């Protein structure tokens, strides 16, 4: 790893344990940038002045070494998922994937003995697919989704964990993000926010009973995680206060987090949660959440709160990331970015794992990431 031989693994664990550290951990997530620029194609010439030639024909792990930075998730950097969901063959559930009517659109049809669900996803101009048609459209569809999940098992892939540990070495702590809480699943995967609000108003007991079912279904996930070799677990919630307003946050999310984090803490795991949307309505809650850290909190000029407001709200929790991704676009100067990074370091160190909130975009400037690495390594 040349200059990248720093023991980020120990530093990260010491940060979560509240111990003194000798170095700042810089952990930018670069997989969107890497995949969006098709850097995995070894023989393709890339005429992008923002990508120096020494990044070409390199793996993500090699690029992290050049940056003297720490990767975070094996799914992104090594393409090694640590969790897998398997639908049981005996359930006679058939999944059909078809091209949609629009470019980049795909249709997923779930045929089950209880009925059929249809979902539409669109990639659009980016990499991450977003759902444009949710599978649950009526209250009756809940029973179909329940049947699918009742016949779906979660498996922790210990062999992939061992491979990731071997490949990462001391570059990081092997970690993963786990599936969303019941409320967040309904908002982002199954129903959508507007339809969920309407169904909650018309059929509150049925929706809440389905959330209770989802919570019970999650037991298998948390049992697997509790028994696993993982030391750090991310709740991949992607929270936004507009979609989880305070009344719902208090009723459906906080109790769930308290239950699950307590379970994982009891198993010796550290936990953090991904919150990358509007933050203002969450500020009064941050310091009381059970998590050890908060990932991807995004301040102005991209988010709706200042760095100082985030600092005042999170108490003694760890901040993971902190640098808004738009600062890596050309309209923000190097000097502006340098000053911003120094402000983050002044406010949050040593309870900080510095990174990009929440990923470097394909049109982001990797040279700015290098510049931050140089600042960190001169400290």
- The mean of the pLDDT values for the chain is 95
* Digit-coded pLDDT (tens) for 150-200: 999 999 999 999 999 999 999 999 999 999 999 999 999 999 999 999 999
Read off the tokens for 14: 């010491």
Q: What pLDDT, on a 0 to 100 scale, did the predictor assign at position 124?
A: 60
| Whole-number percent of the chain with pLDDT over 70 | 97
Read off the tokens for 82: 């640590």
pLDDT at residue 232 is higher than 60: yes
Contact call for residues 114 and 147 (beta carbons, < 8 A): yes
Residue 347 phi, psi (nearest 5): -80, -40
Q: What pLDDT, on a 0 to 100 scale, did the predictor assign at position 3?
A: 45
- Across 222-235, average pLDDT: 98
Fold of 2-86+151-181+218-377: TIM Barrel (3.20.20)
The length of the chain is: 379
Q: What pLDDT, on a 0 to 100 scale, did the predictor assign at position 41?
A: 84
> Which tops the pLDDT comparison, 373 or 23?
373
Q: What pLDDT, on a 0 to 100 scale, did the predictor assign at position 126?
A: 53
Q: Where are the domains of the chain?
A: 2-86+151-181+218-377
Q: What pLDDT, on a 0 to 100 scale, did the predictor assign at position 264?
A: 98
User: Would you give the distance in Å from CA 133 to the centre of its chain?
Assistant: 22
Q: What pLDDT, on a 0 to 100 scale, did the predictor assign at position 127?
A: 64
* Digit-coded pLDDT (tens) for 60-80: 999 999 999 999 999 999 999
Q: Which residues of 212-246 are buried (b: 16+ CB within 10 A; e: fewer)?
A: ebbbebbeebbebbbebebebbbbbbbbbbebbee
pLDDT at residue 53 is higher than 50: yes
d(CA 216, CA 209): 11
pLDDT at residue 1 is higher than 80: no
pLDDT at residue 12 is higher than 70: yes
d(CA 95, CA 111): 6
pLDDT at residue 125 is higher than 70: no
pLDDT at residue 2 is higher than 50: no
Q: What pLDDT, on a 0 to 100 scale, did the predictor assign at position 5?
A: 58
* Digit-coded pLDDT (tens) for 265-302: 999 999 999 999 999 999 999 999 999 999 999 999 99
Q: What pLDDT, on a 0 to 100 scale, did the predictor assign at position 34?
A: 95
d(CA 288, CA 267): 21
Contact call for residues 27 and 71 (beta carbons, < 8 A): yes
Provide DSSP, 90-132.
GG--EEEEEE-SSTTEEEEEEEETTEEEEEEEE-TTSSS-EEE
- Across 30-49, average pLDDT: 85
- Across 41-47, average pLDDT: 75
Of the CA atoms within 13 Å of residue 38, those in its CB half-sphere come to 8
pLDDT at residue 314 is higher than 90: yes
d(CA 371, CA 337): 9
pLDDT-based confidence at residue 46 (cuts at 50, 70, 90) = confident
Give Cα separations from 323 to 10, 114, 276, 359 (angstroms).
23, 47, 12, 10
pLDDT at residue 376 is higher than 70: yes
């Amino acid at each position: 790893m040349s200059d990248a031989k720093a023991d980020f693994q120990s530093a990260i664990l010491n940060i979560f344990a509240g111990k003194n550290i000798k170095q700042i951990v810089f952990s930018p997530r670069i997989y969107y940038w890497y995949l969006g620029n098709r850097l995995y194609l070894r023989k393709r010439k890339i005429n992008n002045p923002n990508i120096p030639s020494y990044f070409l024909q390199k793996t993500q792990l090699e690029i992290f070494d050049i940056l003297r930075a720490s990767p975070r998730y094996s799914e992104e950097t090594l393409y090694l998922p640590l969790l897998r969901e398997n639908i049981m063959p005996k359930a006679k559930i058939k999944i059909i994937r078809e091209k949609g009517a629009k470019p980049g659109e795909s249709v997923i049809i779930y045929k089950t003995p209880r009925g059929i669900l249809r979902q539409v996803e669109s990639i659009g101009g980016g990499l991450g697919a977003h759902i444009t048609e949710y599978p649950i459209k009526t209250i009756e569809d809940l029973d179909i989704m329940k049947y699918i999940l009742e016949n779906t098992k979660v498996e922790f892939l210990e062999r992939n964990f061992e491979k990731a540990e071997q490949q990462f070495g001391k570059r990081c702590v092997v970690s993963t993000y786990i599936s969303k809480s019941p409320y967040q699943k309904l908002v982002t995967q199954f129903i959508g926010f507007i339809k969920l609000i309407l169904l909650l108003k018309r059929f509150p007991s049925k929706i809440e009973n389905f959330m209770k079912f989802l919570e019970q279904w999650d037991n298998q996930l948390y049992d697997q995680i509790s028994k696993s070799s993982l030391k750090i677990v991310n709740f991949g919630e992607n929270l936004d206060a507009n979609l989880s307003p305070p009344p719902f946050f208090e009723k459906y999310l906080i109790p769930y987090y308290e239950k699950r984090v307590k379970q994982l803490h009891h198993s010796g795991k550290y936990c953090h949660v991904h919150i990358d949307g509007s933050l203002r309505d969450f500020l009064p809650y941050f310091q009381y959440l059970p998590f050890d850290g908060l990932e991807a909190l995004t301040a102005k000029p991209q988010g709706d709160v200042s760095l100082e407001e985030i600092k005042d709200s999170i108490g003694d929790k760890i901040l993971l990331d902190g640098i808004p991704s738009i600062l890596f676009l050309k309209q923000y100067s190097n000097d502006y970015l340098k000053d911003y990074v120094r402000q983050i370091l002044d406010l949050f160190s040593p309870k900080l794992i510095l990174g990009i909130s929440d990923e470097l975009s394909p049109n982001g400037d990797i040279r700015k990431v290098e510049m931050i690495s140089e600042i960190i390594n001169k400290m």
